[in-house]
Amino acid sequence: MAGISPEVEAQVAALKRLFIEQLPAKIVELRTTYEAAVANQDGEVLFSFYRLAHNLAGSSGMYGMPVVGDKARELEYAVKQYAEQRNTQLLASDAAKVVVLLTELADLVARSD
């Protein structure tokens, strides 16, 4: 990184490593939060899922993982209208899309190890 001290570069690299190490747990948290929202018909939990996807999308790009960020953004958009209304009654096609996106995101993260 031009113009950045070696100490700052080392800190950024350490943060990126930590982010990558935590990705599998973040994917598990996404999946379990979604499953809990649907199983319990809990709109607040679905909104939490939406926020988790949103946060992952933003932080992935910041840590140099744009493909993971793009997939998380797709996930965020797949539930956005439902989450904003705290509505857990997803159309079957939207629910299926969420499951596929979660699987694709988990696969991306597994390959990034």
Instruction: Say what the pLDDT of residue 30 is.
Output: 97
Whether 82 is covered by a domain: the verdict is yes
Total domain count, the chain: 1
Position 86 pLDDT exceeds 90: yes
For 12, counting Cβ atoms within 10 Å of its Cβ (0-12 exposed, 13-18 middle, 19+ buried), the class is middle
Give a yes or no: residue 1 inside a domain: no
Of the chain, the end-to-end C-alpha distance in Å amounts to 23
Residue 65 belongs to a domain: yes
If you average pLDDT over residues 86-104, what whole number do you get? 95
Label residues 85-102 b or e (16+ Cβ within 10 Å = b): eeebebeeeebebbeebb
* Domain membership flag for residue 94: yes
- What residue numbers bound the domain in which 50 lies? 6-111
- Is the pLDDT confidence value at 11 over 70? yes
Q: What pLDDT does residue 76 have?
A: 97
Here the CATH number for the domain that contains residue 99 is 1.20.120.160
Q: Is the pLDDT of residue 17 over 70?
A: yes
Helix and strand element counts for the chain (H, E): 4, 0
Mean pLDDT of the chain: 93
Report yes or no on 64 lying in a domain: yes
d(CA 30, CA 106): 10
Average pLDDT over residues 67-82: 96
Q: In percent, how much of the chain has pLDDT > 90?
A: 87
